[in-house]
Every structure is written in C-alpha cells, then in structure tokens.
Chain A
Amino acid sequence: MLIIPEIFLAICALSILFIVPFMKKQSYEKIGYLSLIVIFFSQFLILKDIFYSQLIFNGFFILDSFGSFLKSLILIGAGLIIYFYLNIHNPKSLRRPEFSIIFLISIVGMLLMISSNDLLSLFMSMELQSLSLYILVSFSRDDFISSEAGVKYFIIGSLSTCIFLFGTSLVYGLVGSTSFNEISIFMSELYSTPTMLIVGLIFILVSLSLKISAAPFHMWTPDVYQGAPSIVTTLLSTLPKIAAFGVLIRLLVYPFGEIIVDWGKILTILSISSMIIGSLGALRQTDLKRLMAYSTINHIGFILMALIPGSEDGITSICIYLIFYITMNLGIFLFILNMHRDQISVTSIKDLNGLYRSQPLMAGCISIILFSMAGIPPLAGFIGKLIILNIIIDNNLFFLAIIAVLTSVVAAFYYIRLIKSIFFDEPVEELDNINNEQSKYMLCGFALFNLTVVLYPQFFLNLCASVTLSLFAVK
C-alpha cells in the first residue's frame, strides 16, 4: 500500500504544470477547475482507506485514520477555497494558472506533514508547504503590501526552519535516529530525561509554534494576514493550522509522550499567552483581516490547552474544535472575500457599518457566525469550547479553565463590536450588494451549520473519538 493520495496529488500538480505552457490561451479558470477535480479525487482516495493503518517507506511515513481524518478535513477546506477563488474572489493580479498549481503543491506539503513519521520527512514536507505559502502570500506582485508580507513571512519562516533543524539535530545527537519509532523506544527506556533532549524538544516546539502562530511567536500573523491577498489569508488561517496541529499532536503524543510533564508546562505557557494576546491584541484593531489574525491566535491558544493533558479525550476535543473553527473561519472569510465597494475590495471594520440595512439576510448569517466565534450558546463555537473545558476541568487544570473563560469574555467584546457595527451603526457608504448567489447560499449554509450543531454534537464526538483511537493504537 503506497502513500497514494499524496503521490496522486503531487503527480497531478506537476503534470498540470507541464500542461500549462502547451495550452493555447493560458486560462486560470481551466487550471483551477482541473485542480478542483484533482482535490476531489484525492479526497475519494483518502476516504477509501480511512480505516487503514500502516507504516510505509520504511517508517518514513505513516497512514492512520487520525491522519486521514485531518487530511480529508484539509482537502474539504482546499476544495472550498479553490471554489471561492474561481467564483467569488479573483482580482486581476491572481488570475494566473500558477496560483492553483502552487496551491496544490502546498496542499501536498500539508498532507505529507500529517503523515510524517520521521523528523526528516516532517522537515521536508513542512518546507514544501511553507515555500509554496511564501509564494502565495506575495502572489500579487505589483502590490507593495503583499510583497512586504511575503518577505516578512519568508524571513520568519526561514528562522523557524533553522530552529527546527537545530532542535532536530539535538534530538538526533542524543537518540541516534530521527524516526519517531526509534525516539519512542529510546524514551521508554530512559530513567531520567537528558536536559539536551528537552532543549531539542523546546526548539522543535518553538518552530511549530511559529507555524501555528501561537503567542509569543505570533508576531508575523497580523501583518501577513493583512498583507496577503484575501483568498490566501483564508488559506493561511485554516489549512496550515490543521496540518501543524496534526504534526504537533503526533509528535507530542507518540515519540515524546513519556515526557508529558515537560512539554505540558511549555504548552501551558504557550496556550495562556496566546489566549491573552489573542484577546487583548484584537481590541483596538480597525482592519477586519488583522482582527481575524488575533482571533486565530486566541482560538489557537484554546486548542493548545486541550493538548496539555495529552489524553485521548483531549485530542478528540481538538479534532472537534478544528472542524468548528474551520467552518467559522471559512464563513467569515467568505464574507470578507465578498466585501466590495464600487468593485474594489475593502476590509476595514468601518465598512461593515449598517450592513443590516442593505443586506439583512447576510447580516444575520454573519452575526450568527460571529456569535458562534465568541462562544455564545447554543452555537457551534460554544459546543467546541464546552468540550475542551470539560477535558481541562476533568484534569483539574482550574487555573487554565478560568483564564480561558475570562479571555473568551474579552474576545466576545470584539466579536460583539463587529455585530454592533453591522446592526446599530449608521453606514457611511454602503457596501455593494452581494450579487453572487453561490456565496449567499454558502454563507447561509455555514450559519445553519453553526446553528444546528447543538442538536447532534454526538455525531462529531463519535467521529473524532474513532479517529483518535488509531493514534493511541500505535503506542
């Protein structure tokens, strides 16, 4: 059994790249739809073997249902984003066939990251993903801000790579292998943990924190989110986070599971600072994309919290939260992609003023999603937070739970501020009406999802519990 979906996706991406020069008229649309089909097929390939579990390429990669679950989540997100790109948001600077191809390659990177079972394969796939994302961020080349964001992202990203490599070398120096299995065996035979191993782990964790933009390694996030083309921001705020969390979970639970006491402390610091910075930093933002960056940091802190106990329930709750997080974020960004005034994209919070007057249905949908992000019951965001808090309190981490709920009140403040401008403020100039039927339906769909999750949370719990099982079966 080969690592089929990734290989399929990579081959397709490369062959599309070869086709492009031979096409008579280089059309971004045809390539885009082709990519959509490719994503659809890879989704099929993943779902076909979702319960399959095997080490492949000499333990370089691993196939299991935990990975397959996250991968199919990524592919669903990728399909939606490509669809948004084709039908909703494609400013002139993005209308190039390369966009879809680089997008596909970054997806390959993410999928490989999740399957990695070795520090080396992890490093390579992470680089594949990151390099493609650097290009995507600075894709609108003539735009000064986009290029600046790309450079910033690249510099921080390369720093993260260096740190990761350094950590890897420390771990390799002590263990004598980079394979997760070997590390795991080494760890289980230890009586006391060597300090250098913990230092190595800290380096690796710092690098991954840079990827998931957990505070205090979040500095790049607001700038890059604001500078990147909106469609790329949509991508950045969702899919790479899933992939990085997949890596983080696999790395911490499997090879380093024995030293949970040590990394638990690090994660506690990361999670608390992310929640605090994510909620306080957003208070005075005026740009919607920048605000979403801080909102992401806050959510990341919340998710990291669930990893601290390192238990099966905790990881189940992370998976559930990720599903809800993706739907909420995609919903909000779908709206941001649709924000135009006189055909020009705008992203300021002031532009939302008085949206209710001009488009009541859209205003209602977006408010439901915002309330859900704020964690107000009975919406999906609340269910996610409830499940995570349940785990935290089960492990007697009351201090964390109290910080989590207090910061979520602060975070509620700025989500409610958005709703305030949508409903109560007088519009300066009205936004263009969304005349695109698909986005209306999709936005309604996202809102409806957030509204109805409370009726069947069991479905998500069962699904995620069954996939997490495979992660612990390896042990």
Chain B
Amino acid sequence: MSTTVYVPRDATAVALGAEAVALAIAAEAARRKLDVRVVRNGSRGAFWLEPLVEILTGDGRVAYGPVHASDVASLFESGFLAGQSHDLGHGAVESIPYLHKQERLTMARCGVIDPQSLADYQAHGGYAGLKAALALDGATIVQVVTDSGLRGRGGAAFPTGIKWRTVLDTQAPQKYIVCNADEGDSGTFSDRLLMEGDPLCLIEGMSIAALAVGATRGYIYLRCEYPHAHAALNAALAAARGAGFLGGDVAGSGRAFDIEVRLGAGAYICGEETSLLESLEGKRGQVRFKPPLPAIKGLFDSPTVVNNVITFASVPIVLARGAAYYRDFGTGRSRGTLPVQLAGNIKRGGLVECAFGVTLRTLLEDYGGGTRSGRPIRAVQVGGPLGSYWPESKFDTPLDYEAFTQGGGMLGHGGIVVFDDTVDMAAQARYALEFCAIESCGKCTPCRIGSTRGVEVIDRLRAGDRPAQQEALLRDLCNTLTHGSLCALGGLTPLPVLSALEHFPEDFVKPMAAMAAGS
C-alpha cells in the first residue's frame, strides 16, 4: 500500500530546501523499494519548522521538521513512514501548540490540501460557499457579507459589504472584480501563503463577488516578486476552468465569470487601489483622485470591486457557514479572524490566524517565542512600512483596528516585524522616508518632494546640526505629508518616522553629543 508524504511547495519552504527534501524522499523510497506518494502541499505557516514533512498514517498526519535532505535517510531508518519517533518528530501535526491554538477560518486549508487538486479542495469544504451563493440573489449575498462584519484585510479595513453594495447598485454594461495581490508590505506574506497553499479559495471568493455584483471579468494583480504564487494561481485557474467553475457557465448557473492573472513590475505604490487600476490599464501606476470611487468608476471606467486576497478568501466561509458564524469571532467592530504574520527577528516566525482581540504580547511571546537572536525585543513595526514603531509598553494592545488607531498605530495587513535591542531607530525612521522617496508615484508634491527633504532633515538631525530646529522642521514636514498627500503612502509615512522619534528619542541624538551628555 502506498504511503502519502506531504512536502510543501510554498516559497519559504522551498527557499529552506524543500525541493531537495522532496527529491531525497522519492530517491530513498525508490532505493528501498517502498511505495511512496509525495504530495506537494502549501505551508501551514509554521515557518520555523519548514521544511515540515508530514506522513499520512492510520492515526492522522504526523509531522517532522525542519527536515533537510541529509536527514532523509535517518528518517526512513527510524520508520517515519509509519509515524515512528525521531529527533525531528512533532507527533500529530494538529497537536503542535503553535497550530493547535490558532483559529483558522480563512487559512484553514493551507498546508492541508494539495493546492492544485480540485477534488482535495472540495473534500475539505471547498466550493460550499459558491454553492450557497448560487441559491441567493446578488443583494442577499451582499447582505450576508455585510452582516458578517468583514472588513477589507488589505489594510484600510473598509466594510466589504458596503463596497459591494455600491458596485451592485451602479448600473453598467460591464463590471469587474479585481483582486489586489500586490502584497508589498514588508513583514507580510499571508496573501502569498494563501495563493500558494489554497488558491482555489481566492478564486471561489472572487466568483462569489462576481455573482453578487453582476461582474463577468476578474483580474488578480499579482506582484512579480511572487513567481511561486504565479505558478500556483495559473494551475488553480486551469483546474477551476476545466471543471466549469470558471468560464461561460459558472457551476451550471448560466452566469459567466473568468479570471486572469496580471503581473506587477516592482512598484510598491501599485498596492494602492487606484494606482493598481491604472497599472492594469497598462499605464504608469499613478494614484487617481477620489472621487469617483473605484466602485463607481474603476477599471476602464467601469464599476469595480477591488479587494485584497485575504478579504476575498474570507468570503467562502462566510457564505458556507453564515454571517453569524464569522461575526461571532472577534471584538468590537473588528469581526472574524486576522491572519497575522510574525516576521523579522522572531524565533518562531510564521502565520498565526486568530480572532481579533488577542494581544500583541500573546502573539510575540506565546506564539513567537521572542527574538531569534535571543536578545530583548526593543521595537515592533505593525502594519508594514507605513506602520508605527512601538516599544514594549504597547504590547498589551489587542488586535483590533480601532485599538491600534487609538494607540497611534495601524493594524494594516497584519504584519508584525520584530527588532531586537541592536536596532537604530533613527536609521529606521530615515529608511521610512527613503522608501517613500523611492516608491512615490510622483503625483503629489508632499510625497514626491517631502520624502527626500525628510531624509535630509534626519541626516542633519543625526549629525547634531541644530537638532532642535531640525526636529521642529521634521514634525512640520510630517504634518504636511499627513494632511497634504493624495494617498496613504505619503499620508502614513509620518507614522513610522514620528513614532520612532516619540518612543526612541535617544536614538536621534548624535552619538558624540550623547556621550558628552552622559559623561
């Protein structure tokens, strides 16, 4: 009888050697004349255990990791195909505390199924949401999504149902569904993990959106830095098309919908929805003025739903299990779950999906286990390069959009980047402005010019050149950026800059001056 072995094809797992592991397992099995079937699953997101190899046994799936190609012979020797113990063994994969404690709704199938297998997807609840949606009219689907409390997971947290309602109510011969898969924020990888581990879930979510608002064409705007996700999406689209879940007659409904993947070209700004639409139209990715909203005049001037990968991927379970099921997770106005990404200098980095309300400290300590370097955590940046730098005193903030805003931060796309006590926070503040200068689309002056001026001011400040005046100038400049920029790039760059200055002022003092003051 054949034994099923799972070896992830996720980009991080591959970067850590999963290809060599998969080849070594096949070779070792052939040498021992054992019948082994290797399935290339996605990652469960426990990246510190990757490559995480799983064996399907009579008692469920047993995990071993991190496995290197050189460990494979000894794993066979100790009988890992029968789930026997080994130094790299973790027992039943679901019992690993990091995974066991999570509340996986959106990412439930990641790492579990073969992402290219429609049969596997459907065996794990896939397309139940679309089936439920097909029994409803567009307005009812929109109402279910509204009632679930789902908000945009890209970072802006706008209520998804309200956006869909606007597109539904706008009459037009052509409407579009656009997925923002331009996951450019440092410290975030949940979109990538989902697209590689469960791409059909995204396709199902977009299909439900199309049914809801009456769209017939969809685009996934994927960043070109994700070649693995690109391959996974194209394979999944072909599988869905082949089985009639996309095309002229979606699941026998008589409704047409199809999706095309388009690649970005290394512009961070194209994660901003109007820049993304410009880019899809074949233009420079420059921000548009709003209004008109994309929901009314979006892609090619047609009503367009633009949502993040995780937003679309959360829709199938809302339809399959009902709005109340999803809404019952979470806290305050932040309903459901958020796939949080633990990144940077962290011992147990990876993806943690929890209901809103869990504290930053729980994520950093219980899940993350502190820094990888073993030194104390000095700062975390939540929400990508436009998020605030926070010190330890803010770690009791619950995961909640409003709580983060009140604390002077931003939850964004849920990325948490951890820094130990060797970090130079003035350098981080300078980098935030440098990044803004590199990635500015150039349309509005505060962002285009202010970012470069900001770098210069910080350089003078750090050099001890009239520091009080430079600080006043920096604050004034940040005020202009916050209130005068056209989009969030210029508008939020002051968050990392000013939070670093507020919480870590000592790093902005010229070292010589600091030494003189200390002596």
A binds B: no
Name A's B-contacting residues (CB within 8 A): none
Interface residues of B (CB under 8 A from A): none
